[in-house]
């Protein structure tokens, strides 16, 4: 169950990068809204303890329970729809212990469970038959589709998109045929067009009204107006920071943060705080730290001793990379407004703890020598 290793095999570079990101995020959250600081610190400590503990557990032992992990994942997502807590027209959280109890977001843990599940599933198909077999692709579509359907029903479109990108990229890394990729693209293009046409119909049932408005306003800003000003205020905040920013904990109405132009800025729009208070220098610094974390995951994936390890390490790196891109792209107006936390920086204990658990698995992969 536990992996034997020498201290020199442990990837302390990745640990140090994580600590820098977490400390940086805590400082920025404290500046955005100090009422969240204590919970953030507690969540970071719990997450780091779990990360180190998981890093000592052989990832192959964890992968033996991949079906059970998938089952737990499905049950949690169903429980969210049945008994979840609704916040801002979305039911994404489960409350344990009633009012004042522990609240967590199952879809954040779904990301880690699904990466382990799909990595193990693809590894088994690689050993027995082929990744490109009809049975493998059908299993992938059915298992992933069921999970994504439950997540999008909450509704949580941003997590659905991010997880789809991660799992599809993992399928490609496992050896998906370029012929199948070409066919998929040919099918996807008309589907996207049909989707955009359908969501504009008055009786469409796929998306909530606010989701449709955000997408349409992004694609056709002149026609749909600028009702959603969160992104505009975020861009204004980032631009106002200029090179070095206005400084942390700046208390003046001249800042977007203190003028309350962006609600819940400590979560989905934390990058606007970074840009405004630490400027271009701070923004580049945090992007560089996240990039280095992703590159460490990729390095570990390349040196993994088997396909399972390669896919899990790649999957965690992809998750951090894609999620960071989506968050920053939304904050800078490159993508439509959709809520997703910036890994290790935004406030959100479910996101932080689940990612640290995922990194724990990656650390275990790194301490096992490659067979090549």
Tell me if 52 is assigned to some domain: yes
Position 139 in a domain: yes
2 domain-assigned: no
Q: Phi-psi bin for 253: left (phi > 0), alpha (psi -120 to 50), beta?
A: alpha
In a domain, 87, yes or no: yes
Give the C-alpha separation, 302 to 293, whole Å.
Answer: 14
CA 110/CA 94 separation, integer angstroms: 14
State residue 371's pLDDT score: 45
User: Has residue 1 been placed in a domain?
Assistant: no
Looking at the structure of the chain, the number of domains it has is 1
pLDDT of residue 50: 96
Threshold 0.85, pTM exceeds:
yes
Q: What is the DSSP letter of 84?
A: P
SS3 content of the chain, % helix, strand, coil (to 5): 65, 5, 30
In this prediction, residue 250 carries a pLDDT of 67
168 inside domain:
yes
Query: Range of 341's domain?
Result: 7-366
Q: Average pLDDT for consecutive 10-residue bins of the chain (372 residues)?
A: 70 94 94 88 95 94 95 94 77 73 86 97 85 91 95 87 95 92 88 82 75 72 60 84 82 57 77 91 95 96 92 97 94 83 92 96 86 42
Domain for residue 211, yes or no?
Answer: yes
Which tokens go with 283? Answer: 């923004």
For residues 17 and 77, the answer to whether their CB atoms sit within 8 Å is no
> Is residue 347 situated within a structural domain?
yes
pLDDT at 191: 87
What is 53-81 written as a DSSP string? Answer: HHHTB-HHHHHTTHHHHHHHHHHHHHHHH
């Amino acid at each position: 169950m536990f992996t034997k290793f020498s201290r020199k095999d442990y990837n302390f570079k990745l640990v140090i990068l994580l600590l820098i990101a977490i400390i940086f995020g805590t400082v920025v959250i404290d500046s955005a809204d100090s009422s969240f600081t204590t919970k953030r610190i507690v969540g970071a400590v719990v997450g780091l303890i779990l990360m180190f503990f998981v890093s000592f557990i052989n990832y192959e032992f964890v992968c033996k329970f991949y079906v059970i992990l998938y089952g737990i994942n499905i049950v949690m997502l169903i429980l969210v729809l049945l008994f979840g807590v609704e916040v801002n027209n979305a039911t994404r959280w489960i409350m344990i212990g009633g009012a004042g109890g522990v609240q967590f977001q199952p879809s954040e843990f779904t990301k880690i469970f699904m990466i382990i599940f799909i990595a193990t599933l693809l590894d088994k198909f690689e050993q027995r038959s082929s990744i490109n077999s009809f049975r493998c692709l059908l299993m992938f579509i059915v298992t992933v589709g069921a999970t994504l359907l439950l997540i999008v029903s909450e509704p949580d479109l941003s997590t659905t998109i991010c997880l789809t990108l991660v799992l599809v990229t993992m399928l490609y890394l496992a050896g998906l045929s370029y012929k199948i990729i070409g066919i998929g693209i040919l099918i996807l293009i008309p589907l996207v067009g049909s989707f955009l046409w359908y969501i504009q119909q008055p009786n469409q049932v796929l998306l909530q009204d606010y989701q449709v408005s955000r997408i349409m306003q992004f694609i056709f800003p002149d026609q749909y107006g600028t009702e959603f000003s969160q992104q505009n205020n975020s861009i204004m905040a980032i631009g106002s920071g200029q090179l070095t920013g206005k400084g942390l904990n700046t208390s003046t109405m001249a800042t977007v943060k203190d003028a309350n132009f962006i609600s819940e800025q400590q979560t989905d729009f934390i990058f606007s705080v970074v840009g405004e208070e630490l400027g271009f220098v701070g923004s580049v610094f945090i992007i560089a730290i996240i990039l280095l974390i992703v590159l460490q995951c990729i390095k570990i994936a390349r040196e993994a001793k088997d396909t399972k390890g390669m896919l899990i390490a790649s999957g965690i790196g992809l998750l951090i990379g894609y999620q960071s891109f989506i968050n920053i792209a939304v904050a800078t107006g490159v993508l439509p407004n959709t809520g997703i936390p910036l890994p290790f920086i935004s406030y959100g204990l479910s996101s932080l703890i689940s990612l640290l658990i995922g990194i724990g698995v990656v650390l275990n992969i790194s301490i096992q020598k490659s067979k090549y």
